[in-house]
Amino acid sequence: MTDFPDPLPWLIVLPLLWGTLAFLLGPGRGGRLAIAAIALQGVLALQLAGQLLDDGSRVYAVGGWGAPLGIDLMADGLAAVMLLLTQAVALPLAVFARGYFAASPKGRELFWPLTGFLLAALNALFVSADLFNIYVTLELLGLAAVGLVAIAGGRQPVTAAMRYLFATLLGSGAYLLGVALIYGSYGSVSLAVLTPLLTSEAPLAVTLAAALILTGLLLKTALFPFHFWLPPAHGGAPAPVSALLSALVIKASFYLVLRLWLELFAPLATVAAAQLIGALGAAAILWGSWLALTQTRLKMLVAYSTVAQVGYLFLLFPLATLVPLGAADSAVQGGVMQAVAHGLAKAAMFAAAGSMIVATGRDDIGRLGGVGARLPLTLFSFGLAGVTLMGLPPSGGFSAKWLLLMAALESGQWWWVAVMIAGGLLTAAYVFKVLRRAFLPVAEGDRVTRVPRTLEFSAFALALAAILLGLFGAPLLELLAVGRAA
Amino acid sequence: MKAWLTALTVLLCSGLALALGGAMLALPEFAVRLPAQVTANLDTSGVSHPVTAVLLNFRGYDTLLEVAVLLLALLGVFALSRHADEHAPRATPAHPVLQTLARLLAPLMVLVAGYLLWVGAHAPGGAFQAGAVLAAAGVLLRLAGLLPAWAQPGRLLRGGLALGLLVFLAVAVAGLPQGSLLHYPVSMAGALILLVEAGLTLSIGLTLAGLYLASAGAKR
């Protein structure tokens, strides 16, 4: 062992521990504990990233048994990038949530324990190297997310939570069916054991299993046409919850699709399947952006923007499948960069939207007048996040879309370029729709109150991080390369 | 439109069923023989029942996360039942025969739970079965009107609900200096598994009972 304490197991144990302690402390308690613990998790994630950069990817045998008898954890560059993103988004959001629930206490009773379990599930999922263990982490993640959607109570959030529950359970069910078929074919669920077996022989059952697993995960990622559950769930929850769900939870199932597609199911990947996934992504970009433009509620607009931005993530599949190596590399880099940039920017955007709703007392784009004058920092954060989503330089979104563009041109698939440009224009349209309203003076009879400084600064920190990612993205790409066959 | 959708669903489901059936007929021989590995390592697992060895030792990490899932399910019920409507069924006035029966059965059920917990080391049984029996006792007492519903669990109850997970986490972390998370020294494996299972029995019993007690008649 290189360091003590070893960051890998503690990244899973720590959030489980503080989540349980927050539950013990009682309703609404545990915010300060959570912030301290998430900061510690951030240090652990950085420490792990440093280990990986020095020594390459690592395998960790839980219980000392080793696969296939026991469960292995595996941390490579991709996992480390996702771990860093998770802690980097969670820390400002925890600060934001403390201020938000002080100003608007609806739903604060169970927020901290549920968030602890949610982060534990995310961290465990990113480092799991066992198909069944991944299913357990998906369950933990799904139930925590559904619980968070329901905490505000009321007819609409609870309906949205139930719909989300059914969607996520259907996705988990399809995934589990696939895992059962794979276990039935080979007798193991360890990724490291399965990968060579699948390369040498893949019976029909395994092709079916791959289709079931990927479809289940696409449903959980809310890729078009499976996006129906996302806007009510993300748009109806309290703002810190919406931010966690949009920034992190859907990225977890995307991460699994990416990892399985590139590694375990690589022998089964076909150009036709990749083009189909890319086409769904393109449809998501156009349809989601268009619907975002037609919304009248601020949080629904941001939620539909998530539907659209998820589409960009899936453009990487046609660009990385059976194409020249250079193109495939920059496609994967672009896709992961998009996941990180969108995570930071969307968290900032939901946080800023939450502050505006607290300040105006309603969730209505038409009544945002005066926000520009009273909450300039919040509006600035919203705008910066919008710059990232549009993909303007120098943001992280620009780097992501640039890498994807390069991949598209190198592999001769110009049609994806057209989709990306159209999506960027539509994004600009819906971001400016909000900004234009917010710069108007206060309407007759409306009031815009101030909000606590922590709300404004935490949103700004997230938005700034999304921009800085574009300027200092190189170390992240270096980390991503750890453990990937060059 | 509706008929179209139904027809499409039926078509997709039957297609999937056919494909699954076809795939099942053509399954290859297992390349990895896990049952043999479980048997070979049973001696060092601390228990002699293979299911318990897999659940609490070889794949104990899955179980650790599953215990968190159970607690999470209860938190979800709390989230919903705080806003439960007034239409929730009220506790019916208890029937004296049912009450007497419940008073007689509940101690027996606790005894059975204790036995199941103990026997899990070498025969079918263990924390989940024992917890389920405890939970059944709780539901029975509630039905007989001898236990109040949980509007808002107090500190003691929260402690009981979290105990299993906390004990499991403590044992998992205690393995870290030995080499890895959840690493049990061979000589202590049996005792540690029993300790974890004892904590889990209580918490699983309370959690499963809570799924009923927190949702049924939260308004008293």
pLDDT value of residue A207: 93
Confirm whether A476 is domain-assigned.
Answer: yes
* Distance from the B137 Cα atom to the nearest Cα atom in chain A, whole angstroms: 24
Q: Is A159 helix (H, G, I), strand (E, B) or coil?
A: helix
3-state helix, strand, coil in chain B (%, to 5): 70, 0, 30
| Partner-chain residue, chosen from A110, A193, A204, that has the shortest CB–CB distance to B79 | A110
Q: Do B83 and A201 touch (CB under 8 A)?
A: no
Confirm whether A477 is domain-assigned.
Answer: yes
**φ, ψ dihedrals at A128, nearest 5°:** -80, 140
Q: Nearest Cα to B165, choosing from A41, A137, A15?
A: A15
Confirm whether B68 is domain-assigned.
Answer: yes
| CA A323-A329-A332 angle, 5° bins | 100
Confirm whether B180 is domain-assigned.
Answer: yes
Torsion of CA A116, A117, A122, A124, to 10 degrees: 110
Do the beta carbons of residue A335 and residue A313 sit within 8 Å? yes
Whether the per-residue pLDDT at A280 is higher than 90: the answer is yes
| Partner-chain residue, chosen from A20, A71, A146, that has the shortest CB–CB distance to B59 | A71
Q: Please state, in angstroms and rounded to a whole number, the distance separating the CA atoms of residues A179 and A213.
A: 7
pLDDT tens for each residue of B183-218: 999 999 999 999 999 999 999 999 999 998 887 654
| Range of the structural domain that residue A326 is part of | 276-486
Q: Do A27 and B32 touch (CB under 8 A)?
A: no
| Partner-chain residue, chosen from A117, A132, A187, that has the shortest CB–CB distance to B68 | A117
Confirm whether A144 is domain-assigned.
Answer: no
What residues in B contact A137, CB-CB < 8 Å?
Answer: 65
The answer, for A225 touching chain B at a CB cutoff of 8 Å, is: no
pLDDT value of residue A105: 86
The 8-class DSSP code of residue B92 comes to P
Give A 304-343 residues with CB within 8 A of chain B.
Answer: none
pLDDT value of residue A483: 86
Residue A213 structure tokens: 């697993």
What residues in A contact B24, CB-CB < 8 Å?
Answer: 184, 205
Q: Nearest Cα to A15, choosing from A35, A386, A4?
A: A35
The answer, for A188 touching chain B at a CB cutoff of 8 Å, is: yes
Residues, chain B, total?
220
Q: Do B83 and A137 touch (CB under 8 A)?
A: no
Q: Please state, in angstroms and rounded to a whole number, the distance separating the CA atoms of residues B131 and B137.
A: 10
Q: How far apart are the first and last CA of chain A?
A: 27
The answer to whether the peptide bond before residue A225 is cis (omega within 30 degrees of 0) is yes
Q: Do A13 and B69 touch (CB under 8 A)?
A: no
Q: How far apart are the first and last CA of chain B?
A: 45
- Residue B51: is it exposed, middle or buried by C-beta count within 10 angstroms (0-12/13-18/19+)? middle
Q: Is B215 helix (H, G, I), strand (E, B) or coil?
A: coil
pLDDT band at B220 (very low <50, low <70, confident <90, very high): very low
Q: Is A301 helix (H, G, I), strand (E, B) or coil?
A: helix
Give A 153-182 residues with CB within 8 A of chain B.
Answer: 153-154, 158, 161, 177, 181
Confirm whether B205 is domain-assigned.
Answer: yes
Q: Do B32 and A68 touch (CB under 8 A)?
A: yes
pLDDT tens for each residue of B54-76: 999 999 999 999 999 999 999 98
| Partner-chain residue, chosen from A69, A140, A201, that has the shortest CB–CB distance to B72 | A140
- Verdict on whether the full-model pTM lies above 0.90: yes
Confirm whether A221 is domain-assigned.
Answer: no
Q: In 10 A of CB B85, how many CB atoms? A: 7
Q: Is A120 helix (H, G, I), strand (E, B) or coil?
A: helix
- Identify the residue whose tokens are 């997970």: B165
Q: How many domains does chain A have?
A: 1
pLDDT band at A1 (very low <50, low <70, confident <90, very high): very low
pLDDT tens for each residue of A309-333: 999 999 999 999 988 888 899 999 9
pLDDT value of residue A4: 63
What residues in B contact A201, CB-CB < 8 Å?
Answer: 28
The answer, for A441 touching chain B at a CB cutoff of 8 Å, is: no
Q: Nearest Cα to A79, choosing from A217, A258, A210?
A: A258
Indicate the average pLDDT of chain B: 89
Whether the per-residue pLDDT at A486 is higher than 50: the answer is no
Average the pLDDT over each of A75-79, A177-181, B58-62, B143-147 and give the range with the smallest value.
B143-147
Confirm whether B20 is domain-assigned.
Answer: no
Q: Nearest Cα to A254, choosing from A317, A297, A167?
A: A317
Q: How many domains does chain B have?
A: 1
Whether the per-residue pLDDT at A253 is higher than 50: the answer is yes
Residue of higher predicted confidence among B177 and A462: A462
Q: Please state, in angstroms and rounded to a whole number, the distance separating the CA atoms of residues B174 and A65.
A: 16
| Partner-chain residue, chosen from A6, A65, A187, that has the shortest CB–CB distance to B58 | A65
Q: Do A114 and B65 touch (CB under 8 A)?
A: no
Q: Please state, in angstroms and rounded to a whole number, the distance separating the CA atoms of residues B52 and B195.
A: 13
| Partner-chain residue, chosen from B24, B38, B75, that has the shortest CB–CB distance to A114 | B75
Indicate the average pLDDT of chain A: 94
Q: Do B78 and A110 touch (CB under 8 A)?
A: yes
The 8-class DSSP code of residue B89 comes to P
Q: Please state, in angstroms and rounded to a whole number, the distance separating the CA atoms of residues A324 and A141.
A: 36
CA A11 to each of CA A18, A73, A122, B12: distance values in angstroms, whole numbers, following the listed order: 12, 12, 10, 41
pLDDT tens for each residue of A79-115: 999 999 999 999 999 999 999 999 888 888 899 999 9
What residues in B contact A5, CB-CB < 8 Å?
Answer: 176
Q: Please state, in angstroms and rounded to a whole number, the distance separating the CA atoms of residues B217 and A63.
A: 43
Q: Do A109 and B82 touch (CB under 8 A)?
A: yes
What residues in A contact B13, CB-CB < 8 Å?
Answer: none
Q: Do B23 and A203 touch (CB under 8 A)?
A: yes
Confirm whether B31 is domain-assigned.
Answer: no
Confirm whether B28 is domain-assigned.
Answer: no
Q: Nearest Cα to B43, choosing from B190, B173, B155?
A: B190
- For A419-456, give the DSSP string: HHHHHHHHHHHHHHHHHHHHHSPPPTT-------HHHH
Q: Report the chain A residue with the minimal C-alpha distance to residue B65.
A: A136
Confirm whether B12 is domain-assigned.
Answer: no
Highest mean pLDDT among A150-164, A279-293, B45-59, B75-89 belongs to A279-293
Confirm whether B193 is domain-assigned.
Answer: yes
Average pLDDT over residues A291-298: 95
Q: Do A150 and B78 touch (CB under 8 A)?
A: no
Q: Do A63 and B162 touch (CB under 8 A)?
A: no
| Range of the structural domain that residue B72 is part of | 48-213
Whether the per-residue pLDDT at B19 is higher than 60: the answer is yes
Q: Please state, in angstroms and rounded to a whole number, the distance separating the CA atoms of residues B209 and B200.
A: 14
What residues in B contact A69, CB-CB < 8 Å?
Answer: 34, 37-38, 41, 58
| Partner-chain residue, chosen from A17, A177, A188, that has the shortest CB–CB distance to B32 | A188
**φ, ψ dihedrals at B28, nearest 5°:** -80, 175
